[in-house]
Structure 1
Amino acid sequence: MSSPLPAAARLAWWGTAWLRGHVVADLVVDAVVDDQATHAIAGLATLGLGGDPTETLLGGLARLRVEGADTIGAAFGVEGDPVGLGGPPAFNAAALEAGEAVVVSGPRMTPLPGGSHVLGLVPVVVGAATTWVASPAARRQLPDVGEADRALRAALPVTAEVLARLEVARWRPEVADRLMNLRHRDPVTAPPGVPARCVELAARGLQALEIVELALEDDGGAISAQEASARAEALRPLARAARHALVASCSPEVWPPW
């Protein structure tokens, strides 16, 4: 079954679990690859970490573990809200274009060219193949899990009220159904080591993003440009809260103790 989690979230959870010895290699491949045919990691050799120009997913992770990595965190930044990204500009630009990325770190991580102890991986998808391209990154400021949780809980009722005033249910009844049944969420499978609170927060973040996606559909031009603009503005806080929830829940740097 396909996972509802984005690729960066799957790599962050399962890659971290493998680096820390919580799961075996086969489980990582099954979880991260999901419905894609192949996943690979490219660019480690260019950064002085050895190996081939392009490694298999496990080969690349093994090389990173040898270099001292023990943490993989996700980023889901967008223009104007680069949450989970700490730079440099080249990495941020690639991550924003892809819509997701991961940041690899560890207390004994081998320094990269320029002195960075943090590595960024951005997914490049061609057909059924995903290649995670490596480049130097920087440490990032992250939303606290509790803060992200509270922000998401606060954004949902406010957004629901505004959407009701805009009569979104008239055009998108699925949105009303989702908002009336927030307790029903797609199950999210996590490896050992991910706090239960973060698993639950990730599931709610994904649910909120689904609501945003459904509500933003243009209905074949059934609404005016003014109505579409008002709807997009109403959904912006919920989309932001959902992305922050996903970043916090998929960033081991800010997880509560397991």
Structure 2
Amino acid sequence: MSPELPLSARLAWWMTAWLRGDEVTDHALDAVTHGDLGHVVEGLPDGGTTLLDAFVAARRTGADRAGLALPVEGDLLGLGGPRELNDAALDSGEAVVLAGFALVPTVVGEVVRWRVAPAAPRQLPDVGEADRSMRAALVDSANLLADLDVARWRPEVADRLMNLRHRPALEPPLGIPARCVDLAARGLQGWSIVDLALEDDGGALSSYEIGQRRDALAPLERASRRAVVAACSPEVWPDP
């Protein structure tokens, strides 16, 4: 994974800040679009097709927050159904979940198409739980990868594990708790370590050794996704 927030995480943070009055419209929209892609929304009840239309639709429902989902097969993290949403979000790998509806992105060329889908209530790890899991997974994975001689087959991974204080620099909107910004950065850091380690089989001698490496990284991948979802889902943020 890139050390940048996924599209849906960025939208969840900035839409929440806008809905709560912490950020003005132009600043929020500029931050979400990031200046590099066009954004189109499909399926809003009033027929609107812009991100601003989606922001307004969210406000009309009475929403004061937008949260993140990062599902994979076997772990529908951040989703509560229905199946239409689950299937679309699994295909995309991410979604923004509001009260009653969700937005699922698909990148087509230089355009992000956000598809509207119904959304049911969901269960999430809270920030404290995700934080503890993230810290434990980093330590456990570092120890397991050291036993598997990560420095030999992926020296870049070893370097990152030795420099865990160097996290991605995120620029959150106003109103995001500092603890959640830190958790999101650590989640992205862990996820990027997993992706780097799994880029290829890096000198593995057998399918058994490859399996060992993947097993060692699985808890870190799961903890990293949970950390980013909790950090970008206001339902579980700590009280101010």
TM-score range, shorter chain: over 0.9
Unaligned runs of 5+ in 1: 106-117
- 1:13 alignment counterpart: 13
Q: Matches of 2:90 and 2:228 in 1, distance apart?
A: 15
Q: Matches of 2:236 and 2:202 in 1, distance apart?
A: 42
* Equivalent of residue 152 in structure 1, options 131, 134, 142: 134
Q: Matches of 1:223 and 1:256 in 2, distance apart?
A: 46
- 1:113 alignment counterpart: none
Structure 1 segments, 4+ long, off by >4 Å, are 219-223
Unaligned runs of 5+ in 2: none
Cα pair 1:36 1:130 within 8 Å, conserved = no
Opposite residue 130 of structure 1, the aligned amino acid is: V
Identify the structure with bigger relative contact order (alpha carbons < 8 Å, sequence gap 6+): 2
Aligned length: 239
Q: Matches of 1:135 and 1:171 in 2, distance apart?
A: 43
Structure 2 CA distance for partners of 1:41 and 1:156, relative to 1, 3 Å: same
Q: Matches of 1:218 and 1:243 in 2, distance apart?
A: 21
Does residue 226 in structure 1 map to residue 219 in structure 2?
no
Q: Matches of 1:12 and 1:90 in 2, distance apart?
A: 20
* Equivalent of residue 86 in structure 1, options 67, 73, 80: 80
* Equivalent of residue 220 in structure 2, options 211, 232, 238: 238
* Equivalent of residue 191 in structure 1, options 167, 173, 177: 173
Write the mapping of 1:67-78 to structure 2, written as runs, cut at 5 A.
67-78=61-72
Structure 2 CA distance for partners of 1:123 and 1:186, relative to 1, 3 Å: same
Question: What is the root-mean-square deviation in Å for CA atoms of aligned residues?
Answer: 1.6
Cα pair 1:40 1:60 within 8 Å, conserved = no
Q: Matches of 2:207 and 2:36 in 1, distance apart?
A: 37
How far off is 1:201 after superposition?
0.2
Cα pair 1:120 1:135 within 8 Å, conserved = yes
Task: With the length of structure 2 as denominator, give the TM-score of the two structures.
Answer: 0.95
Task: With the length of structure 1 as denominator, give the TM-score of the two structures.
Answer: 0.88
Cα pair 1:42 1:132 within 8 Å, conserved = yes
How far off is 1:59 after superposition?
2.0
Does residue 51 in structure 1 map to residue 33 in structure 2?
no
Does residue 124 in structure 1 map to residue 106 in structure 2?
yes
Identity across the alignment (%): 60
